[in-house]
Structure 1
Amino acid sequence: MRSPRPLFVLASGIFALILTMGVARFAYTPMLAYMQPQTGMGDALAGWLAGWNYLGYLTGVLLVTQMRDLMRKDRLYRLSLLLAVVTTAMMPLAEVLPRLPLVEESWIWGLSRYLAGISSAGGLMLGSGLILNWLIRHGHRSELGLHFSGLGLGIVLGGLLVELAAPYTDWRGQWWLLTGVGCLLLIPAWGWLPRPNRGVQFSAGAGESAREPGPLWLWLLQAAYLCAGFGYAINATFTVLITEQQPALSGQGGLMWLLVGLAAAPAPILWDRIARRWGYLRTLQVAYLLQIVGILLPVLSGSLAAAIASSLLFGLTFIGIVSLVLTMVGVRYPAHPAQIMARLTVGFGIAQIIAPVIAGELAELRGTFDDSLIMVGVIMVLGLLCLVAMARMATRESGRGAQA
C-alpha cells in the first residue's frame, strides 16, 4: 500500500485541532460575549463551565496515560473527533432538553463542556502522538510546528464564524453553525490520518535517545508547564470579557480574540525555527517572558494599543509554549513521548480547572480581572525560574561531559 504524503498526514492533524480545539473548545470564548447578555449567564457560571471543560481535558489526559497500544489510541482519537461535533451541538440543544424533568440548562452546558474537554485532549494529545509516531517511523523531521498551527487556525475560524453569524442569528444559531462546520472538518481529520498498523514499524530500540534527562529535570519541566497552564486558562477563557470590561473598548472583544488566533496560527512554525538556533530551553524562556508582559498589559493600561499587544503576545506565546514543550518531549523521550506528554499535561490540566474558576469568582466579587491577571503573572514568573534552573542543569551536565 502506497504511503500517504506527509503533508496530508499533517493536514489531518491540523483539521483535527481546528475541530477539537478551535470549534469544540475555543469557540466558547467568543460565544461568552453573546451568551451572557442573551441568557443571563454570570461571570461565575462562565468560569465554572470553563473549569468543567478543563476537568474533561484532564480526564482525557489521564485516559491517555493508561494507554500503550497504538490501535487503541487511534480508536479513542477518532472517537474524540466524533465527540467534538456532538458536544458542540449540545450547547444549543440545552434549551430544549431542560423541558425534561429535573434537567437544568446549566447542567447540560456543563456536561457539554466536560465532554468537549475529553475531546480536546484526544485531539491534542493523541493526535500529536500519533502524527509524531508516523513522522518518526517514516523518516521525517520530528517537528510539530505545522501541526500545531491548527490551534491558531481553529481560533481564527471559530471566532470568524461567531462574529459573522451574530448579525443574523442568536447564540443558538451560532452554535448550530459551528456544529455544521465541525461535521465538514471531521471528514479530512478522520480520512487523511493512516491507521498506525500501516507502513514501516519501529525496529527494536529505534528512535531511542542516547540518554534521557534525569527525574529532577522532568519535575522542573512539569512545574514550569503547570505554571503555563494558569497563564493559558485565564486568557483562553476570559480574553473577550477582559477587553469588554474596559470602558473604552466595549465591542472590541471579538476582534481581540481574532487577533489571538491570527498570531497563534504561524507561531508554532516560527518557534520551531527559533528553537533550531537557540535550543528549546532558551526559546521557552523567551516565550514565557513575552507572555508575562502580555498578561500584565491590560492591568497597566486600558488602551486599545495595550489590548491589541496583549492579544497578539498571548496568541504568539501560548501555542508556542505548548508546541515547544511537546516537541521537546518527543525529541528527549522518543521511545514513549505520549506518556511523558500526558504526565506533563496532567499538571497543565489541573491549572486549567482551578484558574478560570478562581478568576471568575474574583471578577464577580471585584468587578475586574486585574487581581487574577496579577496572580497569573506571578505564577508565570515562577515557571520561568524553573526553566532557568533546567538550563543551568543542562550547562553543568554538558560541562561534566566535556571534562570526561
Structure 2
Amino acid sequence: MARNQPNSLAVGGLAALAAGLGVGRFVYTPILPGMMADLGLTGGQAGLIASANFVGYLAGALAAALPIPGSRRLVLAACLGVSCLTTLAMAGLSDFWAMMAVRFIGGFASAGVLVLASGLVLERSAARGDKRAPGILFAGVGVGIALSALLVLIVEQAGLDWRTDWLLTGLVSILLAGMAVAKIDEEPPRQAARQPAKARFSGGLAPLVLAYGLFGLGYVVTATFLVAIIRADPKLWAIEPYTWFLVGASAAFSVTLWLVIAARQGTLVAFAAACIIEAIGVGASAAVATEAGMLLAAVLLGGTFMGITALGLVAARERISGNPQRLLAVMTVAFSVGQIVGPSAAGHLHDVTGDFTLASYGAAGALVLAALFALLAQGLSRPAAKV
C-alpha cells in the first residue's frame, strides 16, 4: 500500500465528520437565535428541537450497533447523504413538529456517520500503525463548526435570513460528503472474516460508558445555547459573530493536543483533565457574563469537547480486541442519552428562570462527575489494544 494511504483515509474521515457532525449537527447553534426571533420559538421549543436531533442520534447509534452486511463505506455514504438532505430541508420549514421530525432524521444519520467513520479510520489506522489518524479524524468536527460559523456570518452580513443559512451550509456539507466518500476507499476483502467472532473488553466498561454519558450531558447545554445566551444580552452582541467560530477553531486544533497528552499521561487521565477544564468553561458562561467570560467559555468548550469525544472513543478502542463497532456504538448511545436530557431540560429551566444560569451550573457538575468516573474506569481496566 502507498505510504500516504492511511492519511488519505483519515482526511476522508475528517471530511465525513465535518459534514455529518460539524455542519449537520452543530450548525443549529449559530442559526438558532434567528429562528427563535423569526418563528417565535420559546427556549423550551428550541431545546426540544435540539433534543429531537439527539433522540435520532440515539436511534442511529443503536442501529449502528447491529451487524452491517456488505460495505460499511456504502452505508457511511448513505448516512452522509441523508445528513446533507436534512440540513437543506430545514430551510423550507416553519412548523415546529416538522422541524423536530427532520432534526430527528438528521440525528440518526449523524450517529451513523460518527460510528462508521470513526470505526473505519481507527480500526484500519491502528492496523497500519498510523498514530496521526485519530487527530486528523476528530479535527473534522471543529473544521465543520468553524466553516459553518463563517458561512452564517457571511449570510448575516449580506442581510439574508436563517433559511439561507441552512441552504448554504447544506450545500457545503454536500461538497464535504463527496470528499469523504472519495477518500475513504473500499475495505480490504475478507477483512471482517479475519476478525474474532466476539470482541473482548479488558474491564472497566460500566464507568467508562457512564463517564461518556455524563460528558454528553455536560457539554451539550453550552454547545446548544451559547450563541442564544450571547444574543440575549445586548452588551455581548459585539462578540456574537465570532464566538461560534472560536469554538470550532479551538476544537479543530485541540484533538491532536489532547491525544499527545493522552500518550504521556494515559487516555482516561487526559479525559478526566479535559472534563474539568470544560466544566470551568461551562461554568464561566453562567458566572462571568462579560465578553471576556464568554470568549473564555468558547475557547474552553471548543478546546475540550472534541478532544473528550476522541479520547472516549480511543479509550474504548484501546480496551477491546477485534471489531470495535459495537462498543463504539454503545459509547455513542450513552453519549446521546446525555444529549437528549440536556437541551430539553435546559430549555425548560430557561423558560422558568429566564436564563441558562442554573442549567449551565448543572452541566458543569455533570462534567466533574464524568471526570471522576473516567478515573475509576482507569483504575479498573488495562488497555487491550493500542491505537
TM bucket normalised to smaller? over 0.9
Q: Could you tell me how far apart the structure 1 residues matched to 2:5 and 2:273 are?
A: 34
**Rg (Cα) greater in structure:** 1
Q: Could you tell me how far apart the structure 2 residues matched to 1:387 and 1:131 are?
A: 24
Q: Could you tell me how far apart the structure 1 residues matched to 2:130 and 2:288 are?
A: 46
Decide whether aligned partners of structure 1 residues 277 and 173 sit closer, same or farther in structure 2, where only a CA change above 3 A counts: same
> What is the aligned partner in structure 2 of residue 179 from structure 1?
170
Shift of 1:389: 2.1
Q: RMSD of aligned C-alpha atoms?
A: 2.4
Q: Secondary structure at the match of 1:26?
A: coil
Matches within 5 A, 1:238-249: 238-249=225-236
TM-score calculated relative to the size of structure 2: 0.92
Q: Is the 8 A contact 1:80 1:120 kept in 2?
A: yes
Q: Secondary structure at the match of 1:250?
A: helix
> What is the aligned partner in structure 1 of residue 99 from structure 2?
109
Partner amino acid, structure 1, of 2:151: L
Matches within 5 A, 1:302-341: 302-341=289-328
Q: Which stretches in structure 2 are left out of the alignment for 5+ residues? A: none
Q: Is the 8 A contact 2:7 2:133 kept in 1?
A: no
> What is the aligned partner in structure 1 of residue 342 from structure 2?
355
Q: Secondary structure at the match of 2:227?
A: helix
Q: How far does the alpha carbon of each residue in 1:76-127 deviate from its partner, in whole angstroms, 9 at most, with x for none?
A: 21111101111011111225xxxxxxxxx22221122111101211111111
Report the count of equivalent residues.
Answer: 382
Q: 1:193 aligns with which of 159, 184, 198?
A: 184
> What is the aligned partner in structure 2 of residue 402 from structure 1?
none
2:157 matched to 1:170? no
2:242 matched to 1:281? no
Q: Is the 8 A contact 2:287 2:357 kept in 1?
A: no
TM-score calculated relative to the size of structure 1: 0.88
Q: Could you tell me how far apart the structure 1 residues matched to 2:105 and 2:8 are?
A: 28
Q: Could you tell me how far apart the structure 2 residues matched to 1:336 and 1:199 are?
A: 13
> What is the aligned partner in structure 2 of residue 99 from structure 1?
none
Partner amino acid, structure 2, of 1:78: A
Q: Could you tell me how far apart the structure 1 residues matched to 2:157 and 2:233 are?
A: 23
Q: Is the 8 A contact 1:137 1:201 kept in 2?
A: no
Q: Is the 8 A contact 2:215 2:370 kept in 1?
A: yes
Partner amino acid, structure 1, of 2:37: P
Q: Could you tell me how far apart the structure 1 residues matched to 2:201 and 2:91 are?
A: 48
Q: 1:344 aligns with which of 304, 309, 331?
A: 331
Shift of 1:4: 6.7
Decide whether aligned partners of structure 1 residues 175 and 33 sit closer, same or farther in structure 2, where only a CA change above 3 A counts: same
Decide whether aligned partners of structure 1 residues 90 and 11 sit closer, same or farther in structure 2, where only a CA change above 3 A counts: same
Q: 1:387 aligns with which of 348, 356, 374?
A: 374
Shift of 1:387: 2.0
Q: How far does the alpha carbon of each residue in 1:138-193 deviate from its partner, in whole angstroms, 9 at most, with x for none?
A: 44338511100001001100111011111322111221111221222222111111
Shift of 1:258: 1.1
Q: Is the 8 A contact 2:201 2:321 kept in 1?
A: no
Q: Is the 8 A contact 2:84 2:174 kept in 1?
A: yes
Q: Could you tell me how far apart the structure 2 residues matched to 1:235 and 1:38 are?
A: 22
Q: Could you tell me how far apart the structure 2 residues matched to 1:315 and 1:202 are?
A: 39
Q: Is the 8 A contact 2:146 2:249 kept in 1?
A: yes
Decide whether aligned partners of structure 1 residues 391 and 5 sit closer, same or farther in structure 2, where only a CA change above 3 A counts: closer
Matches within 5 A, 1:39-78: 39-69=39-69, 71-78=70-77
Q: Could you tell me how far apart the structure 2 residues matched to 1:382 and 1:137 are?
A: 34
Q: Could you tell me how far apart the structure 1 residues matched to 2:80 and 2:227 are?
A: 26
Partner amino acid, structure 1, of 2:17: L
Decide whether aligned partners of structure 1 residues 84 and 204 sit closer, same or farther in structure 2, where only a CA change above 3 A counts: closer
> What is the aligned partner in structure 1 of residue 140 from structure 2?
150
> What is the aligned partner in structure 2 of residue 366 from structure 1?
353
Decide whether aligned partners of structure 1 residues 204 and 94 sit closer, same or farther in structure 2, where only a CA change above 3 A counts: closer
Which is further off, 381-390 or 10-19?
Answer: 381-390
Q: Is the 8 A contact 1:44 1:357 kept in 2?
A: yes
Q: Could you tell me how far apart the structure 2 residues matched to 1:107 and 1:358 are?
A: 18
Q: Which stretches in structure 1 are left out of the alignment for 5+ residues? A: 96-104, 399-404
> What is the aligned partner in structure 1 of residue 281 from structure 2?
294
Q: Secondary structure at the match of 1:166?
A: helix
Q: Secondary structure at the match of 1:266?
A: helix
Q: Is the 8 A contact 2:278 2:305 kept in 1?
A: yes
> What is the aligned partner in structure 2 of residue 254 from structure 1?
241
Q: Is the 8 A contact 1:225 1:383 kept in 2?
A: yes
> What is the aligned partner in structure 1 of residue 93 from structure 2?
94
Shift of 1:6: 1.7
Q: Secondary structure at the match of 1:294?
A: helix
2:202 matched to 1:213? yes
Decide whether aligned partners of structure 1 residues 204 and 391 sit closer, same or farther in structure 2, where only a CA change above 3 A counts: closer
Q: 1:131 aligns with which of 121, 129, 132?
A: 121
What is the aligned-residue identity percentage?
31
Shift of 1:343: 0.8
Q: Which runs of 4+ in 1 moved over 4 A?
A: 1-4, 198-206
Which is further off, 59-68 or 242-251?
Answer: 242-251
> What is the aligned partner in structure 2 of residue 271 from structure 1?
258
